[in-house]
Amino acid sequence: MSAPLQHVTVLLNEAVDALAVRPDGVYVDATFGRGGHSRAILAQLGERGRLIAFDRDPMAVAASEALADARFTLVHEAFSSLAEELDALGVAQVDGVLMDIGVSSPQLDDPSRGMSFRFDAPLDMRMDTTRGESVSQWLARATVAEITTVVRDYGEERFAYAIAKAIDAARAGSPIATTGQLAALVAATVRTREPGQHPATRTFQALRIFINRELEELSLTLPQAVSKLATGGRLVVIAFHSLEDRIVKRFMRDHSRPPALPRGLPIREVDRPRPALNLVGDAQRPSAEEVAANPRSRSAIMRVAERTDAAFVASEVR
């Protein structure tokens, strides 16, 4: 019998400290995973505190059953349903939202999930295996142009068109059904790559991000999180990919500035609308010690913002 898949929570203490947990507060862990952040938050909550966690991965939902705590609620949904689900639970405002976004170690290390080229397994990659289309199914119907766009835009892969053409040629003979097939195909197409990086790294990353709508989910959720935060509540986001962090950085930056007003409008500085967020500290990365102990943490970056009492007007997140 194999050992249970482990997940080392990144920036555990730093993220929970950034939430500034109040014993009687209400908090959201938007990415339960294996519960590292949730357990740390619960440890700081009193009897009247409450924690609502989200995860769309059935394995994470199953893992949450070990956390028998009356203060804890797990919602099996993507975090883009945050506002709707909180409303359904009768939660009007929360004191903090933590988002540890991206793929988890158990998802990468479980061959059956098809997220890694280290194993030859069904080419799935869905975070929620109970819903939606697998990568294999999508590759069977997508056009060369669509595959090129996904691999280029989500994987920042300069050989995207060549990879898409190779996929198109290969699937004419038989479906691309396994991770091994796709990894070998990409490796044969991409002749140069950064030292130490597998040729298929960017393609696998791109397809995973796309099939799970990871960037769209993040863009939908950030405004919901701020709209639910009480004055003084904290939004804490840990990203592992430059595309994710760019969305978070721009969102927090844009909403920590006063709303734009028409040029020439006669208004005193004291009467200018105030921003809905204040940035808290600088972006934080894992320590050298944490990276040495958990190399997967090396790309993590955490950003924190605090809700003001100013009105929040959601804008397009890019």
* 83, 222 Cβ separation under 8 angstroms: no
CA 63 to CA 32: how far, in whole Å? 9
* 30, 98 Cβ separation under 8 angstroms: yes
Alpha carbon of residue 175 to chain centroid: 30
**What residue numbers does the annotated binding site cover?**
35-37, 55, 79, 100, 107
**What residue numbers does the annotated binding site for S-adenosyl-L-methionine cover?**
35-37, 55, 79, 100, 107
Phi, psi of 52 (to 5 degrees): -115, 125
Measuring CA to CA, how many Å separate 12 from each of 9, 40, 300?
Answer: 6, 8, 12
Quick one: 160 exposed, middle or buried, by C-beta within 10 A (0-12, 13-18, 19+)? buried
CA 307 to CA 141: how far, in whole Å? 44
Strands (E) across 156-298 are located at 229-239, 277-279
Give the H/E segment covering residue 204.
Answer: helix 201-211
Q: Is 236 helix (H, G, I), strand (E, B) or coil?
A: strand
Strands (E) across 91-171 are located at 94-100
| Of residues 301, 211, 296, the one with CA closest to residue 249 | 301
CA 75 to CA 159: how far, in whole Å? 39
For the chain, first and last CA: distance in Å? Answer: 45
